[in-house]
Amino acid sequence: MKRNLFLSLLAFALVLPAFSIQAQNAADEKAILATCKEGFDAFNAFDADRFALVYTETAVVVNPMGGLIEGRENIRQAHKALFQMWGGNPQGNGYTWEKQTLRFITPEVAIINIVSANSRNNAITDRMAYSLTVVKKNGKWLCENIQITPIVTPPGKPQN
C-alpha cells in the first residue's frame, strides 16, 4: 500500500512539471506571436519608431540583400528611410504573415520561422521567409536577431 502511494506520488511529481512547461510555453508562444504581430502592424503602418520597439537594443537584422543592421536605433533609422523611399504612404502596401514553426531553446529564448506575402499597390510582389531569435527580457519577448530571405521560385518550376 505504501509502495503504491509512493509510486503514485512519484508519478504525479514527474508529470506535473510537464503540464507547467506546456502552460508556460503556450503563454509565451502567445506573447511571441503578439510581438511578431506588433512588428508587422508597425511595419505595415510605416511607423519606424513603433517598429523598432519590438527589437532589443543589440538586435541584428540581416536584410533580404544580405546587409546587416545592428542595434535598435539603426533599425529604426533604416526603416524610417525605407518608408520614406516607399513614399511614406502605407495605403495598399503591406505584409501578411503566418507562423511556420516555433521552438523554445530555453525558457527565455525561442526561434520562430515566418513566411510573408508582400504587397505594393494592392498586388502581391514577393514572399519572404523570416527566421527570428526572440528573447524574453524583463518579462517581454523581443527580437534579438532576424534573417530575412526572399522566396524565389526555381527556374522552370510553376509558381504557386
Residue 40 in any domain: the answer is yes
Mean pLDDT value across residues 82-103: 82
Residue 155 in any domain: the answer is no
Residue 107 in any domain: the answer is yes
Mean pLDDT value across residues 135-159: 89
Residue 159 in any domain: the answer is no
Q: Is the pLDDT of residue 23 over 80?
A: no
Q: Which among 59, 81, 69, 77 is positioned nearest to 132, based on CA atoms?
A: 59
Residue 158 in any domain: the answer is no
Q: 20: domain range?
A: 2-150
Residue 42 in any domain: the answer is yes
**Domains of the chain: total:** 1
CATH of the domain at 129: 3.10.450.50
Q: What is the pTM of this model?
A: 0.77
- Can you list the pairs that 54-58 forms with residues at least 24 positions away whose Cβ atoms lie under 8 Å? 54/142, 54/143, 55/142, 55/143, 55/144, 56/135, 56/137, 56/142, 56/143, 56/144, 58/144
At residue 99, the pLDDT reads 85
At residue 94, the pLDDT reads 76
At residue 155, the pLDDT reads 81
Dist. CA 82–CA 88, nearest whole Å? 9
Cell of 77: 533609422
pLDDT digits (tens, 9 = 90+) for 111-143: 999 998 887 766 777 888 999 999 999 999 999
Cell of 57: 537594443
User: End-to-end CA distance of the chain, in Å?
Assistant: 64
CB 134 within 8 A of CB 144: yes
Mean pLDDT value across residues 100-118: 92
Residue 123 in any domain: the answer is yes
What one-character DSSP code corresponds to residue 158?
P
pLDDT class of 16 with cuts at 50, 70, 90: very low
Residue 160 in any domain: the answer is no
pLDDT digits (tens, 9 = 90+) for 24-83: 688 999 999 999 999 999 998 999 999 999 999 999 999 999 999 999 999 999 999 999
